[in-house]
């Protein structure tokens, strides 16, 4: 199975850490969304998207990329996010968008990420050290489940 992870990670590379762990586990390629072309998507059987959460949304580069896709080939797809809150509720809307583009968006993974946005900087940020070893382990388990 040929797979790729397309990600954006602009704050502290939190999402990139998770992306690397998943890509390693599934033996997939890893690419920043800015270097990916939508025409190349049909080479892959499994397509993952990863993003930090900014103002309650996935990064605009990921959203724009997915919006540009004309018609995915019912490929299996998954998505993961890191955020200050670490909640999954940011992922549902994006899952709907993937499905509307012809993907089979199956599963999601989310965890907390180090966050020094705005006033949080004054207190040295929140979620220091996240994603941590446990988060990486959970991401690897998620990846194992994906390729089962
Ligand atoms: C401009 C900005 C806006 C953010 N907005 C949110 C938010 O709405 N909710 C949240 O839980 N975290 C928010 N965060 C925290 C990030 O989602 C978190 O640090 C994430 O792990 C960043 O991922 P990255 O290092 O891969 O960019 C925000 C961070 C930044 C810089």
Tell me which of 10 and 72 has the higher pLDDT.
10
Give the distance (Å) from ligand 1 centre to CA of residue 46: 26
CATH code (residue 42): 3.40.50.360
pLDDT confidence band for 56 (50 / 70 / 90):
very high
Q: Per residue in 74-105, pLDDT tens? A: 999 999 999 999 988 788 888 999 999 999 99
CB-CB neighbours of 40 under 10 Å: 10
How far apart are the CA of 42 and the centre of ligand 1, in A?
30
Q: How far apart are CA 63 and CA 114, in angstroms?
A: 22
Q: Ligand 1: which residues within 6 Å by Cβ?
A: 9-15, 52-56, 82-85, 113-115, 117
Indicate the average pLDDT of the chain: 95
Strand partners, 80: 50, 109
Reply yes or no on whether the pLDDT at 65 is more than 90: yes
Where residue 4 falls among pLDDT bands split at 50, 70, 90?
very high
Atom of ligand 1 nearest to the CA of 12: 25
* Segments forming the whole domain that contains residue 68: 3-146
- Spacing, Cα 131 to ligand 1 middle (Å): 13
Q: Choose which residue among 6, 18, 54 to substitute to test ligand 1 binding: the one with the highest number of ligand atoms within 8 A of its C-beta.
A: 54
What's the pTM value of the predicted model, to 2 decimals? 0.96
Identify the pLDDT of residue 87: 86
For a pocket test of ligand 1, which of 8, 80, 117 has the largest count of ligand atoms closer than 8 A to its C-beta?
117
> 60: buried, middle or exposed (CB in 10 Å: 19+, 13-18, 0-12)?
middle
What is the torsional sign of CA 28, 138, 91, 62? negative
**Number of domains making up the chain:** 1
Mean pLDDT of the 119-146 span: 96
According to the model, what pLDDT value does residue 116 have? Answer: 98
Query: What is the average pLDDT across 47-65?
Result: 96
Which residues are CB-neighbours of 85 under 8 A, at least 6 positions away? Answer: 53, 112
């Amino acid at each position: 199975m040929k797979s790729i992870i397309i990600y954006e990670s602009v704050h502290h590379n939190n999402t990139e850490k998770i992306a690397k762990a998943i890509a390693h586990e599934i033996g997939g390629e890893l690419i920043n969304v800015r270097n990916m072309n939508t025409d190349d998507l049909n080479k892959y059987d499994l397509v993952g998207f990863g993003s930090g959460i900014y103002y309650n949304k996935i990064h605009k580069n990921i959203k724009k990329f997915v919006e540009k896709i004309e018609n995915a080939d019912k490929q299996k797809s998954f998505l993961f996010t890191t955020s200050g809150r670490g909640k999954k509720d940011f992922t549902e809307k994006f899952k709907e968008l993937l499905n509307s583009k012809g993907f089979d968006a199956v599963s999601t993974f989310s965890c907390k990420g180090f966050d020094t946005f705005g006033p949080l900087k004054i207190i040295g940020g929140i979620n220091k050290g996240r994603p941590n070893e446990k988060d990486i382990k959970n991401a690897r388990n998620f990846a194992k489940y994906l390729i089962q």
